[in-house]
Amino acid sequence: MNDKIWNVSEVNAVVRELLENSMMPFWLRGEIGTLSIQRSGHVYITLKDQRSQVRGVFFSGANVMKRLRLGIGSEVEVFGQLTVYEVRGEYQFSVRSIRPVGFGDLQRRFEELKKRLSAEGLFDSDRKKTIPLLPRCVGVITSPDGAAIRDFLQIAQRRFPGLPVRIYPAPVQGADAAAKLVKGIEFFNRTGCADVLVLTRGGGSMEDLWPFNEEILVRAVAASAIPVISAIGHEIDFTLCDFVSDLRAPTPSAAAELVAANREELQQRLSRIEKDLFSGVTTLRQDLRHRLEKAANSFVFREPIHMVRQKQQQLDEFDGNMRAAIHQTAHEAERRYATVDTRLQMLSPRNLLREKLTTVNQAQERLAIYAQRASTAFKSRLEHTQYALENLDPSRVLQRGYAIVSHQNNIITDPADIPSDAILDIRLAHGKISAKKIN
């Protein structure tokens, strides 16, 4: 029987495959026991608890470790999976993400409060106040023992020597820090002894900076009538006070540069403005002098009577033109009057009545002629009709010797229509006779 003989590399590869395939990625909590950050940016740590420890590697994690300010002794939560470093045959935890213990809960609270306050409009840009260019006094709310106030004062005095700065001492971390920072904002708003407020502290972990995420402090910054500059932590740190403040400075030093204008630059600007004003006034004065000299040398001032005579001549021209215009207007009005009078004469009711009477008389004459003609024609037609009727009168026919034979009031025109033994009525011109048909 031939048994397979394994080499070390094969064993380590199989163990690595079994280990990685048997456990899904998970979260692991521990304290950083050792820490090594390489020039490549990779981080090698040892995580431990009270009884055990495990090696870990965080590839390209140097910037994250610095940003979170993690070091030996920091309690962290890491997400990743177990793997095997085959070269040494050691298993280790490959870190994909790392956070301080409690960071997840703080981050969740941060995001929830940020979302709620943003919905209320506390972060809107249109509610932010303008930072004064030259404040008469700057109010700083911070710890008087911290490095932040020293950096602020150093730069402020260097940029603008003698700038008044009033410091309200307050703790910048801890359970009661937010309430005392609020009192500082209320103090300056109540006394009105500052034109701009600076809320500042140095860097720290999220837990250290948490007072600046407390709702009471955020609302106090939003309610401040005095503009507020937020200069909390380092440039990579963000708190809710940064979003609600009127201006965010990445560091306390940057805040000092924002509120303390550079005195030398201001003096230079004032000097340039002074020179520009002097130059402008000089140019204006020269221009006015030139205009005055030109006016003084003009013909008007040398011969003023000439201007008077010119105006008199213009008045004469205006008078002549006006008279001509009046005459022309009067002539046109007279012509229009004559035209209108003629039209009115033509439209006079008397003339119209005379025309209508003439028309009526003519119509009467025509009517009489038409009536006479109609009467004559009617009389002629009547006579003709009467003559025709007389010719059609049966009595006229009977007078010429004719007779009308009837039977029972029926006119007989055919002997065949007479019944046998019928009594016939015979009407003559003068009287009637009866006769009997004889077959």
CB 425 within 8 A of CB 432: yes
CB 412 within 8 A of CB 405: yes
pLDDT band at 204 (very low <50, low <70, confident <90, very high): confident
Give, to the nearest 10 degrees, the angle between helix 252-259 and helix 147-159.
30
Whose CA is closest to 200, among 191, 190, 209, 192?
209
Q: Is the pLDDT of residue 252 over 80?
A: yes
Q: What is the pLDDT of residues 53-90, one digit of tens each?
A: 999 999 988 988 888 888 888 888 889 999 988 888 88
Q: Which residues pair with 55 in a beta bridge?
A: 46
| The pLDDT of residue 301 | 62
Q: Is the pLDDT of residue 96 over 80?
A: yes
| The pLDDT of residue 360 | 84
CATH tag for 107-261 (out of 2.60.120.200, 3.40.50.261, 3.40.720.10, 3.30.1330.10): 3.40.50.261
Alpha helices in 176-251 (DSSP H): 177-191, 206-209, 215-223, 240-244
Average pLDDT over residues 256-273: 72
pLDDT band at 133 (very low <50, low <70, confident <90, very high): confident
pLDDT band at 196 (very low <50, low <70, confident <90, very high): very high
Q: What is the Cα–Cα distance from 139 to 321, expressed in whole angstroms?
A: 80
| The pLDDT of residue 300 | 59
CB 137 within 8 A of CB 192: no
Average pLDDT over residues 15-35: 85
Where b means 16+ CB within 10 Å and e means fewer, 10-24 reads: eebeeebeeebeeee
Whose CA is closest to 180, among 150, 144, 229, 231?
144
* Poorest-pLDDT segment among 217-221, 332-336, 362-366, 387-391: 387-391
Q: Is the pLDDT of residue 287 over 80?
A: yes
CB 203 within 8 A of CB 241: no
Residues 6+ apart with CB under 8 A from 85: 91, 92
**What is the four-CA torsion angle of 362, 367, 373, 375, rounded to 10 degrees?**
-150
At CA 319, angle to CA 316 and CA 325, rounded to 5?
Answer: 140
The residue written with tokens 């040892």 in the block is 46
Q: What is the Cα–Cα distance from 47 to 174, expressed in whole angstroms?
A: 28
Q: Is the pLDDT of residue 219 over 80?
A: yes
Give, to the nearest 10 degrees, the angle between helix 215-223 and helix 177-191.
10
Q: Which tokens hold the place of 439?
A: 């077959």
| The pLDDT of residue 299 | 60
Whose CA is closest to 134, among 163, 105, 176?
163
**What is the torsional sign of CA 370, 375, 376, 380?**
positive
pLDDT band at 42 (very low <50, low <70, confident <90, very high): very high
* Poorest-pLDDT segment among 155-169, 238-252, 281-295, 365-379: 281-295
Supply the DSSP symbol for 53.
E
CB 207 within 8 A of CB 100: yes
pLDDT band at 163 (very low <50, low <70, confident <90, very high): confident
* The total number of residues written for the chain in this structure: 439
> Residue 103 corresponds to which amino acid?
F
CB 227 within 8 A of CB 244: no
State the average pLDDT for the chain: 84
Where b means 16+ CB within 10 Å and e means fewer, 107-130 reads: eeebeeebeebeeeebbeeeeeee
Q: What is the Cα–Cα distance from 247 to 231, expressed in whole angstroms?
A: 9
Provide the 10 A C-beta neighbour count for residue 422.
13
Helix (H) or strand (E) holding 55: strand 53-58
For 60, how many CA atoms within 13 A lie in the half-sphere containing its CB? 1
In this chain, the answer to whether the domains covering 8-101 and 107-261 adopt an identical fold is no
Q: Which tokens hold the place of 243?
A: 């979003």
Q: What is the pLDDT of residues 339-362, one digit of tens each?
A: 877 777 777 677 777 778 888 888
Name the residue ranges covered by the structural domains of the chain. 8-101, 107-261, 397-436
* CATH class name, domain 8-101: mainly beta
Q: What is the pLDDT of residues 356-378, one digit of tens each?
A: 888 888 888 888 888 888 888 88
| The pLDDT of residue 407 | 80
Whose CA is closest to 148, among 101, 193, 212?
212
> What CA–CA distances, in Å, run from 433 to 395, 400, 410, 439?
16, 17, 16, 19
CB 92 within 8 A of CB 29: no
Q: What is the pLDDT of residues 426-436, one digit of tens each?
A: 888 788 888 87
Q: What is the Cα–Cα distance from 342 to 225, expressed in whole angstroms?
A: 88
Give, to the nearest 10 degrees, the angle between helix 103-119 and helix 215-223.
30
CB 374 within 8 A of CB 380: no
Q: What is the pLDDT of residues 298-313, one digit of tens each?
A: 665 666 666 677 777 7
| The pLDDT of residue 165 | 92
**Helix, strand and coil in the chain, % to nearest 5:** 55, 20, 25
Q: Is the pLDDT of residue 159 over 80?
A: yes
